[in-house]
Amino acid sequence: MFGLGKKRSKFGKFLDSNSIIQEELSKASGVNRNTISRVAASDAQPSMRNAARIIKALKKYGYNVDYDDFWTM
């Protein structure tokens, strides 16, 4: 299922390498699934509010990540 020729951003590659399902991350973070998909597929940046929610959810899963790991300011 993974690696079907889709372009992926750093965030998308992180999700793929850690087997994190976008729908589960969407539920845990409260960010729309379409937003997570868009950010994982391209170099688009989420709003600061959505990025904070995503990072908070990933930290709840036990990953030590920061905004700068995926996106530039």
Mean pLDDT in each 10-residue stretch from start to end of the chain (73 residues)?
73 92 95 94 91 95 93 82
Give the model's pLDDT for residue 18. 93
What is the reported pLDDT for 73?
Answer: 73
In this prediction, residue 2 carries a pLDDT of 58
Give the DSSP H/E element, type plus range, for residue 33.
Answer: helix 33-41
Tokens 């940046």 -> residue: 45
Distance (Å, whole) CA 28 – CA 44: 21
What does the pLDDT read at residue 32? 95
The domain ranges of the chain are 10-68
Tell me the C-alpha distance between 39 and 62, whole Å: 21
Alpha-carbon span 35 to 31, nearest angstrom = 7
Alpha carbons 48 and 13: distance in angstroms, whole number:
20
Q: Note the CATH number of domain 10-68.
A: 1.10.260
Residue type, 19: S
